[in-house]
Each structure stands twice: as C-alpha cells, then as structure tokens.
Amino acid sequence: MNSKTRALTGVLACTLAASVLAGCASGAPAGGTGAPPAKIQLSIPDPLTSSVGVSAQHFADQVKKSSNGSVTVTVVPNGTSFSGDQNAAVTRLQGGSLDALILSTSVYASVVPEMNAISIPYLFKDTKEEAAFLNGEPGKELKDKLKEKDTVALSFLTRTGREITNSVRPIQQPSDLKGLKIRVPGNTLWTDYFTKLGASPTTMAFSEVFTGLQTGTIDGQENPIEVPWTNKFSEVQKYVSLTNHINDAWVLALSSKKWDSLSEDQKKAVTEASEETATYKTGYDEEQSKKQLDELKAKGMQANEVSAAGLEEFKAASKSLYPEFSNLIGKEFFDQAVAFNASK
C-alpha cells in the first residue's frame, strides 16, 4: 500500500468514525429502546399530597427507571387539565386530547357500566380481596371493555373502603341516616343505595363539597378516609363513621393514541411501572389511612365503628337491591362478580 492509499484510507476511517459518533450523539434514543423519547402528561383530580398524587408521582419515577429515561411522565394535579370535569376527562382521554389519566371506576361506569361491579356494597371484605378481583379475570374483562373505548387501562389501583362523615350524629345503623343530605357521586348505584338506607343522596361536583358542608346545603359525604383528611373536612364535619360500605378503585390509563405512539419496549416499561405502582398504593393506603384517621380525631372529629347488628342491616339493604344492581351492571358480569367474591 503506497503513501497516498494509506492517507486516503485514514481519512475514510476518520470520516466513518465521526459519522458513527455523531449518530450516537444526535439520533440514538435514550435508553436504547429503538424509539425516540416519549413524553406523557398524566392528569389526576387530586393534589400531589393526596394518595393518588403520591402514587402518580411514584409511577412517574418508576417509568423513568424502567424505561432508562426513554419515557418521561409529568403529573398534572387538581384536575387542572380538564377543568375539574371528570366526565369530560374520560371523553377527552378517549379522543386522545389527554395522554393519561387516573380516575375513579365510578366515573368510568358512565361509559363501561360493568365498572359498577367493583362498587357493589360490601362485595369485598378488604382491599386484598378487591385487588384479587381487579388482578383476576374480572379485571381483565374490564380492561378489554375499556380498550373498546380507545382507553388502555394499564392497571387498577385499589382504594380503602368508603366511610360516612356528617355534622349531625354518628351513624351506627341505616336508620341513623334517615333524612340526612349525603353527597354522593353522580352514579345510580350510589343514589339507589343511599335512598334505600333512608338518606337523601345529593350529587354535586366534588369541588363544591367543602362549601356545601360549610353552609349546610348538605349534611355529610362519603369517601375513603384520606378524602376528608386531604380536604380538611374536620373543619366542617363532626362525625366520621367507619361503615366501609363501598369500594371503588382508580384506573391508571393511557389514551389509545398515546399508547400507539410508544415502542414495544416503552409499552412494556410503562406497564411494568403501573403494576408495581398498584402494589405500592395498596400498602401505602393501608398505612396512611390509620394515621389520617388519628389526625382527624385529633382535630376534633368523633369516630365510631358500626355495630355487628348495624353492619348486617347495611348488608341486607345492599342485597335487597341486587336485582337493580344486576340491571345497572349487566346480569352476566354482575353474576360473575358476586360468584368471584363468594369463592374467596
């Protein structure tokens, strides 16, 4: 090889090396996933300090780890990305104008009625039974039904049982609810059940609940214990009764549009992160709800358990409504839900 040939070979080698380095610097995706980096805006209805806020940020952190930085999740709290209108949020997720959403199954029931099965009163003894339901065949069917609505449910996140707060009296049995105006979600299952218990169920936007309690427009509300804690209902409510009457869950979902934009590796990363977050949240809630109840009591709220006799009355009221619940949910899935729980 003469000197000219050696020189030309050296130039070509240097040019090739420079091209490879430039490609690594400018074109290679983070994490080596084979796809460009993805950004996801995750909308939630509550503050970052709430259980769902903490869980959403946990999910974001897990996605960053599992995707090696290829996917970035930004949490948008307080319903600001959907102006607090949760039904509109579901519609926007389906249409793809929201990337991702964590929202209650009671809201999704407006588009997938089978979601109401999760909230059959006293269906679950605790969140472990609820998690088994959501991770089992019933949960898989619910995910399939959401997929038909252009919604990819990554995982279901459990919530602790719902309790009743009010400013009039402790609730020991259904008759104690007679005439009380109790705020409930805008969902037929809730209104039917609380009507059966003798209450006057009242639907209103959650953003209006504190003022409603303060002014006496409503006497009370029902939610997992972290809701009165997060929203300082101890300032406007005297009693918290541990009825554990209904469970619901959160759906951690992506729009089909956003999901389809991800690579297979990115899809795997966000799915694994969501499953880990579901496990994390169940444990987090169990620990926090005890502390939160203690704090509510320290702020002056009176807490009471429900007597065994009272509990049986609450359960009997629910079972008397099974025909109505079956029609609301769909007989096939209603029967499946009740049978699944009975087998545990």
Asked if residue 84 and residue 60 are part of one domain, the reply reads yes
Q: Which two tokens stand for residue 253?
A: 């979902």
Asked if residue 236 and residue 97 are part of one domain, the reply reads no
DSSP secondary structure, 22-89, as one string:
HHHHHTSPGGG-SS--EEEEEE-SS-TTSHHHHHHHHHHHHHHHHTTTSEEEEEE-TTGGGTT-HHHH
Run of H or E residues at 241:
strand 239-242
Q: State the pTM of this model.
A: 0.86
What's residue 205's pLDDT? Answer: 86
The verdict on residue 190 lying in a domain is yes
CA dist 104 → 18, 132, 248 (Å)? 53, 18, 7
Asked if residue 71 and residue 150 are part of one domain, the reply reads yes
In tens, the pLDDT along 154-204 reads 999 999 999 999 999 999 999 999 999 999 999 999 999 999 999 999 999
The verdict on residue 273 lying in a domain is yes
In tens, the pLDDT along 125-135 reads 999 999 999 99
**What is the rounded CA–CA span in Å between residue 182 and residue 169?**
13
DSSP secondary structure, 148-176, as one string:
TTTEEEEEEEE-PPEEEEESS---SSGGG
**What is the amino acid identity at position 122?**
Y
The verdict on residue 10 lying in a domain is no
The verdict on residue 13 lying in a domain is no
What is the pLDDT confidence band of residue 210, given thresholds at 50, 70 and 90? very high
Run of H or E residues at 254:
strand 249-255
What is the pLDDT confidence band of residue 14, given thresholds at 50, 70 and 90? very low
**What is the rounded CA–CA span in Å between residue 50 and residue 54?**
6
Looking at the structure of the chain, the number of domains it has is: 2
What's residue 225's pLDDT? Answer: 96
In tens, the pLDDT along 29-80 reads 444 446 799 999 999 999 999 999 999 999 999 999 999 999 999 999 999 9
Asked if residue 299 and residue 238 are part of one domain, the reply reads yes
The verdict on residue 233 lying in a domain is yes
The verdict on residue 87 lying in a domain is yes
In tens, the pLDDT along 239-252 reads 999 999 999 999 99
Asked if residue 47 and residue 117 are part of one domain, the reply reads yes
Asked if residue 326 and residue 190 are part of one domain, the reply reads yes
In this model, does residue 84 exceed pLDDT 50? yes
CA dist 165 → 116, 131, 181, 228, 297 (Å)? 23, 25, 11, 8, 12
- Of these ranges, 10-19, 79-88, 212-221, the one predicted with the greatest mean pLDDT is 212-221
Q: Which domain holds residue 301?
A: 162-247+293-342
What's residue 239's pLDDT? Answer: 98
**What is the amino acid identity at position 60?**
A
The verdict on residue 119 lying in a domain is yes
Asked if residue 117 and residue 58 are part of one domain, the reply reads yes
What's residue 344's pLDDT? Answer: 65
What's residue 21's pLDDT? Answer: 38
The answer to whether 45 and 78 have CB atoms below 8 angstroms apart is yes
